[in-house]
Amino acid sequence: MLVPARLRTHSSSVTRNLAIQRAQALIDSGAFAAVLARRVRYATESEEPDAAAGALQAYLDAEMVPSLAVLGFALQLVDNPVDERLPLLIAQRIEAPGLPTVLMYAHGDVVRGHAAQWRSGLSPWELRIEGERWYGRGTADNKGQHSINLAALEQVLAVRGGRLGFNLKLLVEMGEEAGSPGLREVCEQHRETLRADLFLASDGPRLQAGRPTLFLGSRGAFNFELRLTCRERAFHSGNWGGLLANPAIVLANALASLVNARGRIRVEALRPTGIPAAVQRALRDIEVGGGADDPAIDRDWGEPGLRPAERVLGWNSLEVLAMTAGNPAQPVGAIPGSARMFCQLRFVVGTRLADIAPALRSHLDAQGFGAVELHVGAQGEATRLDPDDPWVHWALESMQRTTGQRPALLPNLGGSLPNDIFANVLGLPTLWVPHSYPACGQHAPNEHLLEPVAREALGLMAGLFWDLGDAGTTMRDRRAAAENTTA
């Protein structure tokens, strides 16, 4: 129940704490689990061509629309101009034209459930709580995360008497796991509707379960395939070995010209020119890995002279995702006629997406691999908000005030999100506060939300929303002044 403004007699500090406590109490009361269980039941598998279409629409119609309407949002369902199976929702809560405006983002779709791969007693479409682990598809990515944000928002509204002190917009898509088809087009078409002063959302994992994390963008991704067909069929390796070019060997050497045996990228055009000083400062206290389920880091892999955090968050990496020649399941004594290698370049700001394919083609040709075909796959631009941006300092201070510990600041996520759309198309400063952790099983069987992380995240978001109401106008004006000074 919303508290009337006349009853709010506590100081701002006390009422801020009350909002945080109320948000975190949703864990103990079971209210948050009930909401999340309801949302997990929707099998919103956007990668399924036909089977999930009804669930994707229903998640917006039956779940998001009524939940957001109760919070005072005006709602607009948007058809996807690229894939009609994947609808979107734009929600707006405008308190006053002069107030600062925040754009939030969420996705209600999930990866395939793969029910047969889950541990006995678990189902991807049923929330099951075992100790601190809340199992179910989407609990970590992304239903659990946007449910935390909306629950925290509700409690801030309750304590503030039905007002936030800022305007809030929310964009919900149902195709993120399928590569966000149509998201860019919708943002371009609805640019004015989505206009804001700040982007704030939650996705991806924290650096570690016990450390609140803020990241400011994401590495870009460039997927590509190297393909070589030498002849239509395989030929006996005893009769023809040493006479016929082996496409797998040619591709192996083509790869070796791109990256060395220790993972260092050899093509200058695919390497950053350096790590900016602000990024180096942000990464000084960042330690990657070390969790119970984390793999051991290969200290001598990748770019020499860089710390692990710098290699994964401040540098580019080139990986082979899959490769094939012949029949690996039943190899025979024959020279394969063709070979394929699926690769990916993860890259940071400073490497231009448009330059990657030409650089690869030029390098392969110069190294004598002109016959190797280059096929470009999914791709996304790298983004990174300046770690010295006033909004970054504000968010870190708010998070530390709530938790009593220094958050991890990541200039960008090591993985990729559609952040370039919000940063470049909409031109927004982007803040991401993730609510999962590295061993959450995201995109894998037994996906789960960790209860201590969820509890802390409810408080974190309540604190951030509260502080936006108190200081959002000041922060907006301060950033605008800083931009004018720089200009």
Residues 6 or more apart whose Cβ sits within 8 Å of residue 280: 310, 314
Number of separate domains in the chain: 2
DSSP string, 434-451: --B-TTS-TTSTT-EEEH
Same domain (yes/no): 195, 257: no
Same domain (yes/no): 273, 393: no
pLDDT at 108: 98
* Chosen domain end from 336, 353, 380: 380
Same domain (yes/no): 177, 98: yes
Closest CA to 288 of 297, 280, 300, 277: 297
Summarize pLDDT for 261-276 with one digit per residue, the tens.
999 999 999 999 999 9
* CATH number for 464: 3.40.630.10
Given a contact cutoff of 8 angstroms between Cβ atoms, the answer to whether 160 and 16 are in contact is no
Cα–Cα distance for residue pair 479/487, rounded to 1 Å: 12
Given a contact cutoff of 8 angstroms between Cβ atoms, the answer to whether 69 and 86 are in contact is no
Residue 10 predicted with pLDDT over 80: no
Q: Which domain holds residue 375?
A: 221-285+301-380
Name the one residue in this structure whose structure tokens are 């370039």: 420
What is the CB neighbour count within 10 angstroms for residue 288? 20
Same domain (yes/no): 250, 121: no
Summarize pLDDT for 47-72 with one digit per residue, the tens.
998 767 799 999 999 999 999 999 99
| Domain-located, residue 295 | no
Given a contact cutoff of 8 angstroms between Cβ atoms, the answer to whether 356 and 347 are in contact is yes
Same domain (yes/no): 246, 268: yes
| Domain-located, residue 290 | no
Same domain (yes/no): 159, 208: yes
> pLDDT band at 2, cuts 50/70/90?
very low
Rounded to two decimals, the pTM is 0.91
Same domain (yes/no): 368, 414: no
Same domain (yes/no): 205, 239: no
Pairing of strands 101-107, 167-173: parallel
| Domain-located, residue 293 | no
DSSP character for 381? Answer: -
pLDDT at 269: 96
| Domain-located, residue 159 | yes
* Chosen domain end from 317, 351, 380: 380
Same domain (yes/no): 141, 236: no
pLDDT at 53: 74
pLDDT at 7: 36
Which SS3 state, helix, strand or coil, does residue 392 take?
Answer: helix
Same domain (yes/no): 191, 260: no
> Could you give the strand order of the β-sheet that contains 338-347, starting from the edge strand earlier in sequence?
317-325, 338-347, 220-229, 373-380
pLDDT at 51: 65
| Domain-located, residue 322 | yes
Same domain (yes/no): 183, 245: no
| Domain-located, residue 127 | yes
* Chosen domain end from 362, 380, 398: 380
pLDDT at 293: 76
User: Where does 231-347 have alpha helices with state H?
Assistant: 237-240, 247-258, 277-282, 308-313
